[in-house]
Amino acid sequence: MSGKYIAVYVHPRARQRRIALRGENRYEVWVPEAPADGAANKAVQRLLAEALTVAPSRLALIRGHTSRKKVFQLMSA
């Protein structure tokens, strides 16, 4: 697998959906979904994909499945 890595800090159960760039390849994301059954992870993946204008399927969660600190890999096309 090749591609760039994107670090994300997540705020689940937020009042609104929001994403903020915090540095090169570093984002902070707020989603209203609870961190149960992967709902927040899926919401973060969709929101991040929308911000990067890529398909959600091109983003793979590689670290932090149960943590607020996550690392996604953007797969090359």
User: Which homologous superfamily does the CATH classification assign to the domain defined by 3-75?
Assistant: YggU-like (3.30.1200.10)
* Percent of the chain's residues with pLDDT above 90: 94
* Percent of the chain's residues with pLDDT above 70: 97
Rounded to whole angstroms, the Cα distance separating 29 from 55 reads 18
| Residue 12: per-residue pLDDT | 98
pLDDT at residue 1 is higher than 90: no
Rounded to whole angstroms, the Cα distance separating 39 from 75 reads 22
| Residue 77: per-residue pLDDT | 73
Rounded to whole angstroms, the Cα distance separating 34 from 54 reads 24
pTM recorded for the entire structure: 0.92
Rounded to whole angstroms, the Cα distance separating 37 from 62 reads 17
Q: In which band, very low, low, confident or very high, does the pLDDT at 76 lie, cut at 50, 70 and 90?
A: confident
Domain ranges of the chain: 3-75
| Residue 52: per-residue pLDDT | 96
